[in-house]
Structure 1
Amino acid sequence: MTARLRGVLEGVLLGFPILVALAGPLVAGPVDAPLSGAAASPSLPPGGGHPLGTDVLGRDMLALVLRGGVSVLGTTAGALLLGYTAGVLLGLLAAGSRRPVDEAVMRTLDLLLAFPGLLLLVTLAATDRRQWYWLVAAAGLLQIPPIARLVRGAALAPASRTTVEALRMQGHRWAYIHLRHLAREVAAPIATDAGTRFSVVLYLLASANFLGLGLPSSSPDWAVLIERNSDAIFAQPAAVLVPAALLMSLCVGGNLLVDHALARRRLIP
Structure 2
Amino acid sequence: MKEAEMLIETNQLILVRKQIRRKKIKSFFSTILQNRAATVGGAIILFYGLMTIFAPMIAPYDPYEINLQDKLQSPSMSHWMGTDDKGRDILSRILYGSRLSLGVGVSAVAFGAFFGIILGLISGYYGKWIDTIISRCLDVMLAFPGILLALAIISALGPSLINVTIAVGIFSIPLFARIVRGSTMEVKKLEYIDAIRTLGANDFIIIFRHIFPNILSPIIVQGSLRLATAILSAAGLSFLGLGAQPPSPEWGAMLSSGRDFIFSSPFIAIFPGLMISILVLGFNLFGDGLRDALDPRMKK
Runs of at least 4 residues off by over 6 Å = none
Distance 2:133 2:141 in 1: 13
- What are structure 2's unaligned runs of at least 5 residues? 1-32
The 5-angstrom pairing of residues 22-37 of structure 1 reads 22-28=53-59, 34-35=64-65
Q: Say which SS state the counterpart of residue 279 (structure 2) adopts.
A: helix
Answer yes or no: is 1:161 the counterpart of 2:189.
yes
- Aligned partner of 2:232 in structure 1 is 203
Identity of matched residues, %: 27
1:217 to 2:220 alignment: no
> What is the aligned partner in structure 1 of residue 114 from structure 2?
85
When structure 1 is superposed on structure 2, of 2-11 and 222-231 the one drifting more is 2-11
Relative distance call for 1:5 and 1:99 in structure 2 (3 A) is closer
Answer yes or no: is 1:14 the counterpart of 2:45: yes
**How many residues are treated as equivalent by the alignment?**
265
Shift of 1:123: 4.5
C-alpha distance in structure 2 between counterparts of 1:116 and 1:11, whole Å? 29
Select 1:241's aligned residue among 253, 267, 270: 270
Shift in Å, 1:231: 2.6
Moved more, 78-87 or 118-127: 118-127
Which secondary structure state, in structure 1, belongs to the residue aligned with residue 172 of structure 2? helix
Residues 1-269 of structure 1: pairs in structure 2 closer than 5 A = 3=34, 9-28=40-59, 34-35=64-65, 38-47=67-76, 49-123=78-152, 126=155, 129-157=158-186, 160-163=188-191, 164-264=193-293, 267=296, 268-269=298-299
* 2-structure distance, mates of 1:260, 1:61: 33
What do residues 3-55 of structure 1 show as CA deviations (whole Å, max 9, x unaligned)? 49667633542233222222223433897x742x6223543211373221111
Alpha-carbon distance between aligned partners in 1 of 2:202 and 2:155, rounded to the nearest angstrom:
47
Report which stretch shifted further, 164-173 or 216-225.
Answer: 164-173
Determine the C-alpha separation between the residues in 2 that align with 1:171 and 1:100. Answer: 24
Q: What secondary structure does 1:44 align onto?
A: coil
Indicate the SS of the match to 1:186. helix
Counterpart residue identity of residue 213, structure 2: R
Root mean square deviation of aligned Cα: 2.8
Provide, for residues 64-110 of structure 1, a one-character-per-residue CA deviation record: whole Å limited to 9, x for no partner. 11211110111111111111111111100011114111111222222
Could you tell me whether the CA contact under 8 Å between 2:113 and 2:223 is conserved in 1?
no
Matches of 1:148 and 1:121, distance apart in 2? 18
Q: Normalising by structure 1, what TM-score?
A: 0.85
**TM-score between the two structures when normalised by the length of structure 2:** 0.77
Q: Which amino acid aligns with 1:65?
A: I
SS at match of 2:242: coil
Alpha-carbon distance change, 200 to 97 in structure 1, aligned in 2, over 3 angstroms:
same
Gaps of 5+ in 1: none
Relative distance call for 1:161 and 1:7 in structure 2 (3 A) is: closer
